[in-house]
Amino acid sequence: MHETNSNFIHDIIDRDLESGYVQEIHTRFPPEPNGYLHIGSAKAIWINYMAAKKYGGKFNLRYDDTNPVKEDDEYVRAIEEDLRWLGADPGGGIFYGSDYFDKCYEYAEKLIMDGKAYVCDLSQEQMSEYRGTLTEPGKPSPYRDRSIEKSLDLFRRMKAGEFAEGAKTLRARIDMSSPNMNMRDPVIYRILFAHHHRQGDKWCIYPMYDFAHPIQDALEGITHSLCSIEFENHRPLYDWVTDNIGFEKKPHQYEFARLNMTYTVMSKRYLRKLVETNTVDGWDDPRMPTLCGLRRKGYTPSAIFDFIARNGVSKALSMADVRLLEYCICEELNDTAIRRVAIVEPLKVTVTNYPAGQTEYFTFSNHPKKPELGSRELPFTGELYIEKSDFMAEPVDGFLRLRPNGEVRLMSAYILKCNEVVFDDKGQPCELLCTVDLETRNNKPADGRKVKGTIHWLSAAHTETAEVRYYNQLFNKENVATLLEDDNFDEFIGDDSLVIYGGCKLEPSLGSATTDERFQFVRMGYFIKDSKTDGVFNRISPLKSSFKPE
């Protein structure tokens, strides 16, 4: 896992350890199980996990399952799978917010009995009216001065299911004139008749996140509650909860800027819409920024964390260039991926002077810079496939590959000359009649002539057939996250977000490829076998990213 340099969070931890304020670092990742994790989640995981790892502390996974309407066991399973795939072991334990419902209820009663919470009958619309604005203070609820006994009785009856949804809430009594809107008597419990994925029908009242989260942190012994910057204005309420419940050891919240990325949307609401409208092939579509989508596309945890580390940790909002993510995987796979030959758009070549029925073999390195990875033998016969783009019937200036009456080097084999072109009924080349210089088996021409171009090839009789998919950016606007609305998805979907090539030809060894192996298809890019559909390879990235690091 990519290590991190010190950042402002580590500076805070250093001070807390030096002062003796804390003795052991304990962090957590608290996802809501209402969707799949995305690369923005990976940043939160990396920050929390690496902080715990750096200081020899503990790291928890805790599901924030306080809203049963949107939660599902499918997401619970997927979140843990993604977390472990990233290598972030939750050694501190796996917990659920719902594990603490009894304690949350107990603490809510304590706040009522301490005169710090009350049952309110205002509707959501009325509360909004009473709340005030950023420039005007709010008005106290007419139920704010209910007696402790009355609020306690009503709260218990809320728990017993005596009232309809929306009829009553439990609110913290704080300050209706606070400049922080989150402190204007926020709702800390609401009535919700919904089946919970773990608790079943035990509860019909549920704590709000801003009330439950600090309680969960305190009960688990979290020392540094690290979250994204949108929770900064919620921190006073976080502290109010832990202060007024009276925890001896209080966690503290610290915020960092979330990960935003060009040509990408991170909102679970929009990601879910993409799935539900069949705009994509599920949450794991390789065009999605989800971790399962990136995994299916062929990205590695190390490349994802390298990308996050290069973006850094700060409070300043910024937009990461999606090309940097591609750059990170290209850099890694150039070093680690073994080489294989594949013809994405095959063009048939008949070698007219090659002995009929003969097969010979040429040696290909598995990695040009790593001889320890060995080599393999590829068969050569009188019928070959080359890449369609490696031939031009009417070549443009600067085209150095095969042309009529031109020559190229077949990679690791002979020099090939095109003598005749066969066209189909649409006027497109469908077969090349060629000859090879049989004296140039891995040798230069005896007459000293120069052959500039080198192309890859496969024996037509010795190939696997597959489909190859090029997954490109799903959206066609760099700042798409600021443009999307519920009904305008279609205008921002890129026309080339998915390009499918059928009838591709692969060297024989790729027939036994697994979904965990990553390959460089020589001269074509990096590829991986699709994990959902047999006989399909997905492009991970081109050979080189257009991103230029500073």
């926020």: which residue's tokens? 186
Q: What is the β-pairing status of strands 498-506 and 464-471? A: antiparallel
CB 300 within 8 A of CB 517: no
- The residues annotated with a catalytic role in the active site are 32, 258, 268
Q: What is the β-pairing status of strands 536-541 and 464-471? A: parallel
Element (H, E) at 19: helix 8-19
How many CA atoms within 13 Å lie on the side-chain side of 491? Answer: 7
| C-alpha distances in Å from residue 26, one per residue of 22, 59, 60 | 10, 6, 8
Distance CA 444, CA 414 (A): 9
Phi, psi (degrees; rounded to nearest 5) at 547 = -75, 135
| C-alpha distances in Å from residue 151, one per residue of 155, 170, 189, 237, 412 | 6, 8, 13, 21, 84
| C-alpha distances in Å from residue 100, one per residue of 66, 291, 336 | 10, 28, 45
What are the DSSP E strand ranges found in 30-156?
Answer: 58-63, 93-96, 117-120
Tokens of 172: 């913290």
User: Is the four-CA dihedral 438, 439, 441, 447 of positive or negative sign?
Assistant: negative
Distance CA 394, CA 396 (A): 7
| C-alpha distances in Å from residue 357, one per residue of 84, 221, 381, 383, 429 | 52, 74, 8, 10, 25
Beta bridge partners of 340: 521
């001269």: which residue's tokens? 523
Distance CA 335, CA 370 (A): 9
